[in-house]
Amino acid sequence: MRRPAGRGLAALLVGALALLLPPAAATGAEAPEKWTTSVFARVPSPGAPAYVHAHTNKRVYAGTYAAPDGQASKVFEWTRGGTLVRSWRVPGQDLDGAHGVQVAAQTRTGRLVVLDTTTSRVLTLDVRTGRWRTVATLPEGSVPNYATWAPGGLYVTDYGDGVVHRVTRRGKVTEWLRDPALDGVLGFGTTGIRYLPDERAFLLTQQTLSTGASLPTNGALLRVPLQGRAPGEVEVLWTSQPTDLPDGFGIGRRTGHVYVAMVGPTNRIAEIDPTTGEEVDSFPALPLVGENGSEIPFDSPCNATFLGKDVLVANQSAVQGDASHHAVLRVHVGERGLAPYLPRRATFR
């Protein structure tokens, strides 16, 4: 009988102390303001980071999208706090010309899916063993850019040919979508892609439009429904400002808003409501110079990958080529994101 009484007294004491102590929220640090930007990590040589992938193993990865002649591209691994852990050299590249890779996704078993832009290969990297494997090769001249898992396999955008390719689990490559909306101007083509299982549809970003519906220097956010295994009609949800060059994006879980990085000279991130086509916010308020409040300005920001209530933005410095700007930046947006679709069959045989 004494033990229950002791527990009751302890509970009363805890309750009394709770009344005397200030609320928990008052004891912790205040949440940062929206768009607060800091440096997550600097990217070593060869620099020019591409899409940042937040892995299910709680690590963060990015490939180098450009590398000098004679220097192989690399894939870097960081902790979620931004500490560099290790890196891997990409094998089998032609090092005599421009070359680069993008960590585009992962398999269900944890292997990274890496796209080699100059050999048109789809590779996997086992981060436990360091083993590379070529699982598919796109048609000659293809420039694989971003990828997403969806029913039927891995869907890969082709920056150079206005095509979305489908790669089956056995590595078979087929042309899944070819549409005038994907025909870019002056080589600025199709970039980001995400599959939304609840809508059975894809979202894509297009850097320039040649359809005549807008200025050719305007980009767009597109929606493509999945009808069985075939694509439906391409719909333009939002049109960008001239020279924005929309690139990679993340999707907010609470609002459904799409956060798109503009790799063009406007150097900004746009927040878009895909249901209305409205651009609800943009950062920085003053475009072009990329001043974001951190020690490294936006300089060809090329993606927005959710990590907690922040997005990680790869700073590619594609035009300036400033190695001191090669970094992954952390930008607070105040909501969590939708994780990339990763079904049970998201793997290669």
Task: Note down pLDDT in tens along the chain; length 349 residues.
Answer: 333 334 343 343 334 334 334 444 444 568 899 999 999 999 999 999 999 999 999 999 999 999 888 899 999 999 999 999 999 999 999 888 889 999 999 999 999 999 999 999 999 999 999 999 999 999 999 999 999 999 999 999 999 999 999 999 999 999 999 999 999 888 899 999 999 999 999 999 999 988 766 667 899 999 999 999 999 999 999 999 999 999 999 999 999 999 999 999 999 999 999 999 999 999 999 989 999 999 999 999 999 999 999 999 999 999 899 999 999 999 999 999 999 999 999 999 8
**pTM (two decimals):** 0.90
Does residue 161 sit within a domain?
yes
Q: Decide if 153 contacts 173 (C-beta within 8 A).
A: no
∠ CA 129-348-200, rounded to 5°: 130
Give the position of tokens 């990274």.
112
Does residue 261 sit within a domain?
yes
Which residues have C-beta within 8 Å of that of residue 103, sequence separation ≥ 6? 50, 51, 52, 53, 61, 62, 63, 75, 112, 113, 114
Distance, in Å, from the CA atom of 342 to the CA atom of 307, rounded to the nearest integer, reads 16
Provide the domain count of the chain: 1
Give the position of tokens 């970003």.
205
∠ CA 53-58-61, rounded to 5°: 30
Does residue 13 sit within a domain?
no
Quote the pLDDT of residue 12: 33
Quote the pLDDT of residue 217: 80
Distance, in Å, from the CA atom of 38 to the CA atom of 162, rounded to the nearest integer, reads 35
The CATH number given to whatever domain includes residue 114 is 2.130.10.10
Distance, in Å, from the CA atom of 164 to the CA atom of 146, rounded to the nearest integer, reads 10
Does residue 68 sit within a domain?
yes
Does residue 21 sit within a domain?
no
- Tokens linked to 325: 């700007």
Does residue 306 sit within a domain?
yes
Other beta carbons within 10 angstroms of residue 160's beta carbon come to: 17
Domain containing 118 equals 35-332
